[in-house]
Amino acid sequence: MNEYSVLNSRLPRIDAPLKATGLAKYADDLKFPGMLYATILQSPVAHARILNIDTSRAKKLKGVKAVITSKETGLIKYGVSPARYDETLFAHDKVRYVGDEIAAVAAVDQATALEALSLIKVDYQELPAVFDMFEAMKEGAPQIHDDYPGNLNAEVHQEFGDTEAALAECDLVINHTFLNKRQDAAFLEPHSCVAIYDLDGRLTLHTSTQVPHYVMRTVAMVLQIPVGNVRVVKPYVGGGFGPKCEATPLELSCAFLSRFTGKPVKMTYSREQVFLHSRARHQFFAEMSLGVRKDGTMVALKNKAILDGGAYTSFGIATVYYAGSLLGGPYKLKSMKYDGYRAYTNKPACGAQRGHGGVAHRAAFEQLIDRTAGELGIDPIELRLKNIMTAGDMTVNELDMSSLGMKECIEAVKEHSGWQNKKGKLRRGKGIGMACGFFVSGAGYPIYRSDTYHSTVVIKLSEDGGTAIVQTGSAEIGQGSDTTMAMIAAETLGISIDNVKVVSGDTDLSVDLGAYSSRQTLMTGHATREAAEQIRGILKRYLAQEMGCTEESICFSNGIVKFDGQPGNYDKLRSHYIKEHRGWTDQPSGEYLTFKEVARMTYLKDGTLVGTGKYKPPRLGGSYKGAAVGTSPAYGCSAQVVEVDVDLQTGEITIENMTDAHDCGLAINKTSVEGQMQGSLSMGLGECLFEEVKFDSRGRIVNPSLGEYRIPTALDMPNVKSIIVESHEPNGPYGAKEVGEGAIMPTIPAILNAIYDATGVRMNELPVTSERLFLALKKQEIA
Amino acid sequence: MKKIIKLTINGESVEAAVEPNRTLLQFLREDLGLTGTKHGCGLGDCGACTVIMEGRAVNSCLILAIQAHGKEIITIEGLAEGGRLHPIQQAFVDKGAIQCGFCTPGMILSAKALLDRNPKPTEMEIRTAISGNLCRCTGYQKIVEAIESASETIGSEEVS
C-alpha cells in the first residue's frame, strides 16, 4: 500500500492541459511591441583566416537596425568550464568550422535580416582543415587552436590499483574496440530567444534553455554587466537532452543587439542551425580490455577513449572524464585504468547529451562482458549477477552506491522477458541480448568551482491560505520537474496537488543549476521539501500556541489538521476564521480544521508566509585528479533485455521486444518515470540503428534535417515493458533518485548483444544500418 | 503583391491579405497569433506544424496560405469546447502522453484526423497515422495508448 497521499502515484502532469491545448508558450511564441528579428552570419568554410569583414552595405539596407561583429561585442572568452574558455561570441581572426559565427543582424523583419546577411562581405584565406579525430592528433595536422598543440583539447589519465599486474594474473583477458558516431539531440523545438534590454541597464532573456542559471552568468560575463542585472526566464522548452545546457551565440547576440537597439530582439535557429550549433553527442573510439578469473570474477578493466570534440570545448572536459569514471560500476572490479583524449577537429563542437560521456563506453563494456560470458560458457546474466554491486558498495574509483537495486533490475528483466526460455534457444536470425548501466542523480559539483547551493526554493502561501506557490529557478524541459516539485510540496505540506502552483525557470526566483545530469528530482526536490517543512513548522508553532498543544501532536494531511489523530477543540479558531471570511460562500464546515484556515490565521498574525529550502551535496568522491566528475549523492541503475529479428538476406533489423527495469528510488510519479524510461530507450535505439551526423570532404553537414538525419518514428519503436524498481535512496528526497539518463545506458549494448545472438556477428561500429550489418554478414559467410 | 484569402479557421471565417510566398504556418502563427501550431523544421519532416485541412492532417509549413483559400482548417486551438478538453486531449493528459509538449498539438491533430475517418483503429493504424509526427521524448508508447483510449471514449460517448 502507498504510504503517501500524493507521491508514488500516477497524477497527471500539471502542465499537460496547457500543452494539450496549444496554450503553453515556448520562446518562439513570444512577441513584444517593437520587436526586431535577428539572424547570425555563419562561416561557409571549415578553417580560414578572416582577412576582412565589411558590414557597410548591410548597415545601409532599409529596415536594418544593427549589425554587430567582434568589433562591437569585444573578445571576452567564454565556454562551459572556466578551465577551457575557448570561444568568443564572434570569430575575429579565424573561423574553425562550417557554422562558426561571424556577425549578427537585427532588422524589422526576418526577410530583411536575412537579406542583410547576404550583404556582409567576409574575405577568407582558407587554411588546411582536419575532420577526423585520429588525423587531428597526428604530427603535422592543421592546428586549430594555437594554445593546444597537437589539437589535444584535454587528456585524462587515471588508475586505481595496478591494472597491468592484475591483468597478468587473469585467466582470461579479452580486448574490444568500439566506435559510435556523432549524434544530434534532435529535440523538436529549435533554440529560440527574445532579449529585452531596458534603459536602466537590465536584461531580461526569455530563452529555450535547460540552465537559466548558467546562461545568466555567461551572458553577464560576456556583456560585462552585473549578474544581478540579468534575468533569464525559461518559457516551456521543447526538449533539451543536453545541448541546451550552455549559453548560445543566439542568446548572446540577441542580448547585444537589444542593448544596441533598445528594442526587444528575437532569434530562432533554423533546423540546419541546430545541427550546426550541435553541442550534442561526441564520437568516441573505445579500446578496452577486461580481465576475469575462470569462475567469471571480474578483476581488471583497461579503458582508452578518443573523442572527436569539434572546434571548441563546450562540455568536453566533463565528457572525457565521464567516459572513464562511469565504468567503475555496477560491477566490482579490483583495478581500473583509464586514458582519455579529446581532439579538436574542424567541425561543430560536441557537448553533453543524455547519458553524458557514458553511453558509448558503456556499450563497449557491456559487449565485452557478453563476449567474456561466451568465452567462459557462462550465461551473460549469471556473469553479471556474480559481479554485481549492491547498496553500500563503493566503486574502484570511489563512487558511493548508497542505494542500488541493480540485482533486482536484472532479475526483473530476466523474468519479464522470458530470458530462460529464449537465450540459446532461438533460431538463427532471432536473438536476445541484455545489458546494465547506471548514472548520476545530479553532478556532485557545479560546472564552475564554487560552494554555491545547487538548488534553493521559496514556497509562499497565498494570503487566503489556499494555495502554496513554489518558486524555483529549476528547468522544466519536458521531463516533468514542475510536477515533481508540486507533488513533493503537496506531500510535505499535507495538501492536495490542486492547491499547489509552481512558478519555475526564472533566475529571479531562486538559485538552481538547472536540468542536466539528472539532478532536478534529487536536488530541487530536497530544497522543495525543506521549504515546505519550514512552512509546516511555522503553521505548527502558531497552532500549538493557539491551541495549547505540542507541535508533535499536530499532523497535516489531505488538506486537514489532526491533533493526536483527533479533530481537537478548534472552535475559537474556526469562529474567528468565519467572522474574518464573511461574505464568502466557501466557509469551512467539516469535522476537521483545514490547512487553509490555519494558513489564513497564521498570515493574519505574521504576514506573508514564506518557507525557503536549499540543497548542496556533501563533499563527495576521492582526492585524485578529476575525482569530482562522476560523483553524485545517488545513482540510478537500469537493466534491459532486447529481442531482435534480423533478416539474414538484407541485414534489416526489427526490434521485437524491449524489457527495461530501472531503479529510481521512490518513484515520485510512476507515469513520468515510465515516460523517461521509454524515451531513453527510443533515443538509444535511434543511436544504435540509424543516427549519424555526416560530413562531406569540406566539413559541411550533409544531413542537417530531420528527414535525412533519421530519428525513431512510431513505426520504429516497439512497446516496451517498463518495470519500476524502487530501492530506498538515503540521500534522496523521500528516497527518490534519477531516471532520465540512466535508462539509456544499457539500450545500445543490449541491442548489439541481441544482434550477435541472432547472427554470430559482433557489431562494434554504429549505427548498425542494414547496409553495415549486411556487409558484416557477407564477410562472415566468406570467412 | 498581396492576395486576399478567405478561409474558415476553427469554425470562424477569416479574411486576410497575404504575400503569395507566406506559408500557412507563418500565417497562423505570426499573422493570427495561433501559436499552438509549432515550427520544428520548416521542411515537412517533423510534423510539429500539423493542422487539419478539409479533414486531412497536413504539414502547414508545406502549404502556402493562398492554397488554403476557401478551405476549412482546424488548429489545436479549435479542439477544446466550452472550457472542456476534447477527448483526445484529455486522453493525452491522463495517459502521460505529453512530456515537452512541442509535438503534442500536431500529434493530437493527426490522431483526430485518424479517428474522424477510422473511429476504431488498430495499433498499427495508429502508429502509421502518427508516423509523420516525430516525438523525441516519449518513445511513442503512451501516445499510442492515449489514442487507443480516446477512441474508446469517443465510441462510448457516441453510443450514449
Q: What cell numbers appear for A356 in the block?
A: 553524458
- The answer to whether residues A653 and A772 touch, using CB atoms and an 8 Å cutoff, is no
Which residues of chain B neighbour A271 with C-beta distances below 8 Å? Answer: 40-43, 45
H runs (alpha helix) in A84-205: 110-119, 133-136, 163-168
Rounded to the nearest 5°, which phi and psi values hold at A662? -130, 135
CATH H superfamily, domain B87-159: [2Fe-2S]-binding domain (1.10.150.120)
- Report which residue type is found at A535: I
With both helix axes pointing from N to C terminus, report the angle between A571-580 and A525-547 in degrees, rounded to the nearest 10: 110
Domain A283-445+622-782 bears CATH identifier 3.30.365.10: yes
Rounded to an integer, what distance in angstroms lies between the CA atom of residue A223 and that of residue A203? 10
Strands of the sheet containing A554-557, edge to edge, are A554-557, A560-563, A593-594
Do B102 and A268 make contact, defined as CB atoms within 8 angstroms?
no
pLDDT score recorded for residue B156: 87
Helices (H) and strands (E) in chain B, counts: 5, 5
A22 interaction partners in chain B (CB closer than 8 Å): 34-37, 75-77, 105
Could you tell me the three cell numbers for A283?
Answer: 564520437
Q: What is the pLDDT of residue A2?
A: 79
Mutant choice from A13, A19, A206, A690 vs B, greatest count of B C-beta within 10 A? A19
Residue entry with cell 558498495: A393
The residue written with cell numbers 503534442 in the block is B104
CA torsion sign for A723, A726, A727, A729 is positive
Q: How many CB pairs under 8 A join A and B?
A: 176
Q: Compute CA A604 distance to the chain's CA centroid, rounded to the nearest angstrom.
A: 43
Residue numbers in chain A where pLDDT is lower than 50: none
As a whole number of angstroms, the distance between CA B82 and CA B79 comes to 10
In B, minimum Cα distance to A672 occurs at: B96
Q: Does A672 touch chain B (CB under 8 A)?
A: yes
Per-residue cell: A49? 583566416
Nearest CA distance, B109 vs chain A (angstrom): 10
Residue A74: HSE in the Cβ half-sphere, 13 Å Cα cutoff: 9
Cβ neighbours of residue B24 under 8 Å, at least 6 residues apart?
A: B51, B53, B60, B61, B63, B64, B65, B67, B68, B73
Which among B41, B94, B142 is the nearest to A271, CB-wise? B41
Residue that is written with C-alpha cell 493526536 in the block? A564
Mutate which: B112, B137, B138, vs A, most A CBs within 10 A: B137
Identify the closest residue of chain A to B96 by CA–CA distance.
Answer: A671
Give the pLDDT confidence score for residue A650 in this predicted structure: 97
| Distance, CA of A563 to CA of A178 (rounded, Å) | 63
Region A31-127+188-239+244-277: CATH code:
3.90.1170.50
Query: Chain B partners of A715 at a C-beta cutoff of 8 Å?
Result: 127-128, 131
ipTM of the complex: 0.98
Contact yes or no for A706 and B43 at CB 8 A: yes
Cis ω for the linkage preceding A618 (within 30 of 0) = no
Residue pair A97/A701 in contact by the 8 Å Cβ criterion: no
Mean predicted confidence (pLDDT) in B42-60: 98
3-state SS assignment for residue A4: coil
- Distance, in angstroms, between B43 CA and closest chain A CA? 8
Write down the architecture of domain B3-77 according to CATH. Roll (3.10)
pLDDT tens track for A49-82: 999 999 999 999 999 999 999 999 999 999 999 9
Task: Name the residue in chain A with its Cα closest to that of B36.
Answer: A22
Using a CB-CB distance cutoff of 8 angstroms, which residues of chain B are in contact with residue A690?
none
What pLDDT, in 10s, does the model give residues B57-102? 999 999 999 999 999 999 999 999 999 999 999 999 999 999 999 9
A16 touches chain B (CB under 8 A): yes
Cβ-Cβ contacts under 8 Å, A28 against chain B = 35, 39
* CATH 3.30.365.10 segments of chain A: 16-23+453-615, 283-445+622-782
CATH 3.90.1200.10 is the classification of domain A16-23+453-615 = no
Q: In 3D, which of A493, A727, A23, A456 has the Cα closest to residue B108?
A: A23
Cell (9 digits) for A417: 522477458
**What is the rounded CA–CA span in Å between residue A46 and residue A126?**
8
3-state DSSP call for residue A58? helix
Contact between chains at A21 and B127 (C-beta distance less than 8 A):
no
Contact B100 A190 (CB under 8 A): no
The reported pTM is 0.98
Residues in B touching A480 (Cβ below 8 Å) = 99
Strand pairing category for A298-310 and A283-292: antiparallel
Band of residue B160 on the pLDDT scale cut at 50, 70, 90: low
CB atoms A713 and B134 under 8 Å: yes
Chain A CB contacts of B93 under 8 Å are: 12-13, 16-17, 20
CATH 3.90.1170.50 range(s) for chain A read 31-127+188-239+244-277
Of A676, A19, A271, A704, the residue nearest B107 (C-alpha): A19
Q: How far is CA A62 from CA A65, A235, A244, A363, in A?
A: 9, 32, 34, 55
**Shortest CA gap B115–chain A (Å):** 17
Q: How far apart are CA A208 and CA A445, in angstroms?
A: 24
Distance from CA of A269 to the nearest CA of B (A): 10
Q: Which of A16, A711, A713 comes nearest B98 by C-beta?
A: A16
* Cα gap A482→A469, rounded to integer Å: 12
Gap between the terminal Cα atoms of chain B:
52
Cβ A22–B128 below 8 Å, yes or no?
Answer: no
- The torsion angles phi and psi of A771, rounded to 5 degrees, stand at -60, -45
Locate the domains of chain B by residue range.
Answer: 3-77, 87-159
Q: Which three cell numbers stand for residue A710?
A: 533519421
